[in-house]
A = this chain, B = another copy of it.
Amino acid sequence: MWIQKEFHLAAKPRGFHLITNEVSQAVQDIERIECGLFNLFIKHTSASLTINENADATVRADFESHFNKFVPERAPYYRHDYEGDDDMPAYLKSSILGASINIPISQGRLNLGIWQGIYLCEHRNHGGSRTVVATISGAVYD
C-alpha cells in the first residue's frame, strides 16, 4: 500500500519550528496503516527536517544559536557569497540536518517517542513556503 502527498508548509521565519501537527493534519492516511513507514522529504536545499524535542521552545532557540555559531555566516573561505549572507550557511545546515526523515507507523499512528516532534529547520531569512512530499507505505488494516 503506497500513498504519496505533496503539500506546502506555511512560510516561517528563520529558525527551528515544530510542525508535527501541521504534517499530521495534511496526511491523515496514516490512520489506515497498521505497520509501515512514513517518509517526509523537503524539496529545498536551504531548509531541512529533523526529529527532536517537542515540549520546550528554548530547545529550538538553542538549535538556532548552535547552528549559527558552528555554521557561520561570512566565513572568509566561502566562495559562494553572492546570494546573501544566509545562503551558503543554509546549504551546509541543510545537509548536516538532512532533507528527509523516516518515522515508523504502528497501529495507524506515527510511532514517535513521547518527547519527539518533527522540526522544519528554516535556514533562510525569507525562505517562504516550503514544499514537502510525504510517502506512506505499509500493511493496511483488514
Which residues of A are interface residues toward B (Cβ below 8 A)?
2-4, 6, 35-37, 39, 41-45, 50-53, 56, 58-59, 61-63, 65-66, 69-71, 75, 77-80, 88, 91-92, 94-104, 106, 111-113, 115-116, 119, 131, 133, 135, 137-139
Q: Are A62 and B41 in contact (CB under 8 A)?
A: no
Q: Using Cβ atoms and an 8 Å threshold, which residues of chain B touch A138? A: 2, 137
Number of copies: 3
Q: Using Cβ atoms and an 8 Å threshold, which residues of chain B touch A2? A: 35-36, 138-139
Q: Using Cβ atoms and an 8 Å threshold, which residues of chain B touch A39? A: 37, 102, 104
Q: Are B133 and A43 in contact (CB under 8 A)?
A: no
Q: Using Cβ atoms and an 8 Å threshold, which residues of chain B touch A97? A: 95-96
Given the known interface contacts A35-B4, A45-B52, A111-B6, the answer about A78 and B62 at a Cβ–Cβ threshold of 8 Å is yes
Q: Using Cβ atoms and an 8 Å threshold, which residues of chain B touch A112? A: 43
Given the known interface contacts A52-B94, A78-B62, A94-B52, the answer about A41 and B102 at a Cβ–Cβ threshold of 8 Å is yes
Q: Are B62 and A79 in contact (CB under 8 A)?
A: yes
- The answer, among B69, B75, B95, B104, for a CB contact under 8 Å with A52, is B95
A37-B39, A53-B91, A63-B92 are known; give 16 further A-B pairs, CB within 8 A.
Answer: A35-B135, A36-B135, A37-B135, A39-B104, A41-B103, A41-B111, A43-B111, A45-B113, A52-B91, A59-B80, A62-B80, A95-B119, A99-B116, A100-B101, A100-B102, A100-B103
